[in-house]
Chains A and B, each alone.
Chain A
Amino acid sequence: MAELSRPGAARRPLSGEEATGEPVATPSRRLDIVGRRNVFFALSLLIIVPGIYSMLTRGFLLGIDFQGGTELFLKFSQPANQAQVEAVVASENVNGTVQKGANGTYIVRTRALDPAQQKKIVDDLDSKVAPVDRNQIQANQVGPSVAREIVTSALLAVLAAAILILLYLAFRFRRVRGGWRAGFQFGGSALLALLHDVFLLTGIFSILGKVLNLRIGEIDSLFLTAALTVVGFSVHDTIVVFDRIRENLVLSDRLGASRLTFEQVVNLSILQTAARSIITSFTVVLVLAALLLFGGQTLQGFVLALLIGILSGTYSSIFNASQLLVVWRKLQPVR
């Protein structure tokens, strides 16, 4: 790589602050993020454990994509009375529920109905309650078997992606001291941090949907999309930190006897990349805010899931991933 021949490398051993002429900073004189790892682990567990408990005992509030059923978004062109809408839906014998949305919209959820049956409900509402704006209808119907398949295929995709990412990282980090074993430690830690983000996100949604009974905590295919984005982002974030550790390990080794301990290298790398992590996440949060502002009601859960995931991903890449790597190294030392 370019760094081996770069002039000025000798003048600038490690940190970004070396131009001030100070000796190589020791972790004790700086912010010690690695040393206080147990505090950060505890903080994560504080959120994750209740989430997992809620997932195990209460499960999720499932959207129709995952449960099977029909969902009709209707807009009446004249004001409609919710009790009337409910009465008509109840008379159809379709296990229907009615929810009032913003701007005179209603959401009717029933068991899976084919389009002809859906049309009957809309026609009945049209004639018995108030005229329905046919250009504003949105209707989704998902059979229970399809719902299962969507979940299974997505989970399989994530599992396959996790394995491939682990192999890819092991391959990319195999040149670090310790070879492939070290490579798998890097890859494994990145995956653990990923699990952290996924469990935190799904846990919070389980609590939102089942403990607090909020519709925003509904698990549907948009939530799945959000969770998958978080998977990508979390690994992305973690790799940037790990890449810096890899680079600093090489530089540190050149110092010979005065080289830093692994823990010190990790701490330094986190500090050097923290600004980038925070700036990038901040930019994404800005973009998400724009989505939240214009995306409308149907996208609110999606944006919330992304916000939680991105924040968790940033937190775990700074406060968890590398610390897990340090712990792993202590348990399974490499020479």
Chain B
Amino acid sequence: MHYLLSWPVRLLVVGLLILSIAVDGAGYIQRVLNHQPLTGQVSGMPPQLFGNQVYIHRGLDLQGGTDLLLQITDVPPGRDMSQVQRDTIDVISKRINKLGVSEPVINPVGRDRIEVQLAGVSAAKAQATIGNTARLVTTKWVADANVKGGPFPGNRPQITALTSEMLTGADASLDAQNGNQWVINVTYNSQGAAIFSQLSTEAFNATCPNGATDCPQHSITNWLNLTADDVAHWDQRAADLYRPFDQGGKLLVDARILQPITGGQSQITGNFTADSAKNLAILLNSGALPGNLQVIQSTEVGATLGADSIKRSLAAGVLGLLIVIVFMIFFYRLPGLVASVALLFYAGLTLAVFKMIPVTLTLAGLAGFILSVGMAVDANVLIFERFKEEVRSGVSVGAAVETAVGRAWPAIRDSNTATLITTGLLYLAGNGPVKGFAITLFLGVLVSMFSSIIVTHNLMALVVENHNAERSFLMGVTLPLRRGRA
């Protein structure tokens, strides 16, 4: 174990210490360097380090927000499930982008589930945005004398066989040929192309009643979620439904057909701005949701409740650390002080690791971290108890440090390996709070082994080198010589 006291190891410890301070205090360091106030909002936060933003990533239970687990159901038979899952995630991402949530998390879970985490959004709003079902519906217009109201009296939409699965893509682009206006290019697969070809030809050739030059029959309309029921009650619902989707209606675009479109590629023109064209493209794409979504698990935490939890856990963590330090110094004296320094190093390094990976801290994660402090203390206790034994048996204080570390090592190694095995498996198999707990405890145990076997060890060696072994009070152990027996 003597090689652990060599200068490269000590250099490593000093390097890690500097790194920890730089990462942990990155925000304050940047504020000082830029002559900004130490508290309150300032520009340039969070600070950058090696190209990554470093800050504590807080879980939803600590910052407030919603966590939804969605189950994809009613998938048409024969479709590749992983493709459906990927498509659905794309669609959800596009819809969520509209909310402007910082760092939304959208992850696949298993084969047919998706987890969505949104900070600062209520569960009801999140569900409404993601939508349970959102299907692109394409209609043509047919004459119906019963329709008295709505935008086009005497006409109602009729749902066509063109479905969202047949739309392969929609994107906004600047059309150089038509005077640099924004257009949306829509592409259908071969099946969709055939249907669209027929629909557009019919619409183009439609004759308007009473010799009018224009009528709804010339248009093909895209909707989100328009149902057969809506169409059946068109007379009553038209005013609500025939409104843009983002204004509470179901309408995406009502486009007049200028020519029969046979190749499966159509272009929608109009008075689009860059934004409105992109939005429409997103909505057309987002209509292509292959199945239905069902919320099977949801967690919502109010914003101030989360902030309250942070305060509580921080207080618990700081108090816990303080109690342990006081106890260690009281019980082990000088070695206890050494262990406390090592413990602070441990806490600082673990926090820096959490910031750099980054680990998202949840309430259960904080509990795991606080418990790993207990495990870090244990390694020190093991070493010190051995140290006392060695000194009592007559070994010199200097040699006792080495022997104590050497003999405590197998116990530290084996006991921590067992914890690493358990937490590692829990991280792989667990979900939600269990995962957050496992990752912090796992990392905490790793750092604590390093902290005890290298930092405590080196500090003890340094103390002993400059220490008069006769002052046994400081070492917290009665030397055999001083018992007056020899």
Which residues from chain A contact B368 at a C-beta distance below 8 Å? 225, 229
B429 to chain A, nearest CB (A): 4
| A21, B393: Cα distance in complex, Å | 10
Tell whether, in the assembled complex, residue B316 and residue A235 are in contact, meaning their CB atoms are under 8 Å apart: no
A49 to chain B, nearest CB (A): 27
B454 to chain A, nearest CB (A): 17
Tell whether, in the assembled complex, residue A135 and residue B124 are in contact, meaning their CB atoms are under 8 Å apart: no
The size class of the interface chain A forms with chain B is 35 or more
A160 at the interface (CB under 8 A from B): yes
Q: For residue B402, which residue of chain A has the nearest CB?
A: A2
Tell whether, in the assembled complex, residue A231 and residue B422 are in contact, meaning their CB atoms are under 8 Å apart: yes
| A233, B246: Cα distance in complex, Å | 54
Tell whether, in the assembled complex, residue A302 and residue B367 are in contact, meaning their CB atoms are under 8 Å apart: yes
Which residues from chain B contact A90 at a C-beta distance below 8 Å? none
Which residues from chain B contact A145 at a C-beta distance below 8 Å? 296
Other-chain contact of A2, B1, B395, B421 (Cβ < 8 Å): B1
B300 at the interface (CB under 8 A from A): yes
A253 at the interface (CB under 8 A from B): no
What are the interface flags for A287-326 relative to B under an 8 Å C-beta threshold, 1 for contact and 0 otherwise?
1011101111001001000100000000000000000000
Tell whether, in the assembled complex, residue B392 and residue A236 are in contact, meaning their CB atoms are under 8 Å apart: no
What are the interface flags for B389-433 relative to A under an 8 Å C-beta threshold, 1 for contact and 0 otherwise?
100111100000001001100110011111101110110111111
A224 at the interface (CB under 8 A from B): yes
A279 at the interface (CB under 8 A from B): yes
Other-chain contact of B433, A20, A136, A225, A276 (Cβ < 8 Å): A225
Residues of A within 8 A of B (CB): 1-3, 6, 8, 11-12, 16-21, 73, 114-116, 118-119, 133-143, 145-146, 149-150, 153-154, 156-158, 160-161, 164-165, 168-169, 172, 221-222, 224-225, 228-229, 231-233, 235-237, 239-240, 243-244, 246-247, 272-273, 275-276, 279-280, 282-284, 286-287, 289-291, 293-296, 299, 302, 306
| A299, B378: Cα distance in complex, Å | 24
Tell whether, in the assembled complex, residue B299 and residue A140 are in contact, meaning their CB atoms are under 8 Å apart: yes
Which residues from chain B contact A19 at a C-beta distance below 8 Å? 392-394, 480
A6 to chain B, nearest CB (A): 6
| A290, B375: Cα distance in complex, Å | 16
B11 at the interface (CB under 8 A from A): no
> Known contacts A2-B407, A19-B480, A150-B432: does B127 contact A135 (CB below 8 Å)?
no
Tell whether, in the assembled complex, residue B415 and residue A114 are in contact, meaning their CB atoms are under 8 Å apart: no
Tell whether, in the assembled complex, residue B403 and residue A6 are in contact, meaning their CB atoms are under 8 Å apart: yes
Given contacts A119-B123, A134-B122, A138-B301, 16 further A-B contacts (CB under 8 A): A2-B407, A3-B407, A135-B64, A136-B304, A137-B122, A140-B300, A160-B429, A161-B422, A165-B422, A224-B434, A235-B422, A280-B378, A283-B324, A286-B324, A287-B323, A291-B316
> Which secondary structure dominates chain B's binding surface?
helix
B157 to chain A, nearest CB (A): 27
Tell whether, in the assembled complex, residue A164 and residue B421 are in contact, meaning their CB atoms are under 8 Å apart: yes
B166 at the interface (CB under 8 A from A): no
> Known contacts A154-B426, A161-B422, A287-B374: does B411 contact A239 (CB below 8 Å)?
yes
| A168, B407: Cα distance in complex, Å | 19
The size class of the interface chain B forms with chain A is 35 or more
Tell whether, in the assembled complex, residue A283 and residue B319 are in contact, meaning their CB atoms are under 8 Å apart: no
B315 at the interface (CB under 8 A from A): yes
Q: For residue B379, which residue of chain A has the nearest CB?
A: A280
| A138, B63: Cα distance in complex, Å | 12
Select the residue from A116, A221, A236, A247 with max chain B CB neighbours within 10 A. Answer: A236
| A239, B419: Cα distance in complex, Å | 11
Which residues from chain B contact A239 at a C-beta distance below 8 Å? 411, 414-415, 418
B257 at the interface (CB under 8 A from A): no
Q: For residue B314, which residue of chain A has the nearest CB?
A: A294
A87 to chain B, nearest CB (A): 23
B364 at the interface (CB under 8 A from A): yes
Other-chain contact of B423, A119, A224, A232 (Cβ < 8 Å): A232
Which residues from chain A contact B320 at a C-beta distance below 8 Å? 286-287, 290-291
| A279, B385: Cα distance in complex, Å | 10
B327 at the interface (CB under 8 A from A): yes
Other-chain contact of A116, B124, B297, B312, B378 (Cβ < 8 Å): B124
B33 at the interface (CB under 8 A from A): no
Tell whether, in the assembled complex, residue A295 and residue B313 are in contact, meaning their CB atoms are under 8 Å apart: yes
Shortest 7 CB-CB contacts between residues of A and residues of B: A115-B123, A119-B124, A143-B296, A157-B429, A284-B374, A287-B320, A243-B411
22 interchain pairs (CB within 8 A)? A12-B393, A12-B394, A18-B393, A20-B480, A21-B485, A116-B127, A135-B305, A137-B300, A153-B431, A172-B414, A221-B432, A240-B382, A247-B407, A279-B331, A283-B328, A286-B320, A290-B316, A290-B319, A293-B319, A294-B315, A295-B312, A296-B308
Which residues from chain B contact A138 at a C-beta distance below 8 Å? 299-302, 305
Which residues from chain A contact B55 at a C-beta distance below 8 Å? none
B50 to chain A, nearest CB (A): 33
| A17, B299: Cα distance in complex, Å | 57
**Interface set, chain B 342-394, CB cutoff 8 A to A:** 363-364, 367-368, 370-371, 373-375, 377-378, 381-382, 385, 388-389, 392-394
A110 to chain B, nearest CB (A): 13
Q: For residue A242, which residue of chain B has the nearest CB?
A: B414
Which residues from chain B contact A275 at a C-beta distance below 8 Å? 385
B134 at the interface (CB under 8 A from A): no
Tell whether, in the assembled complex, residue B418 and residue A229 are in contact, meaning their CB atoms are under 8 Å apart: no
A157 to chain B, nearest CB (A): 4
Tell whether, in the assembled complex, residue B426 and residue A236 are in contact, meaning their CB atoms are under 8 Å apart: no
B129 to chain A, nearest CB (A): 11
Q: For residue B437, which residue of chain A has the nearest CB?
A: A225
B441 at the interface (CB under 8 A from A): yes
B298 at the interface (CB under 8 A from A): yes
| A240, B429: Cα distance in complex, Å | 27
Which residues from chain B contact A286 at a C-beta distance below 8 Å? 320, 323-324, 327
B126 at the interface (CB under 8 A from A): yes
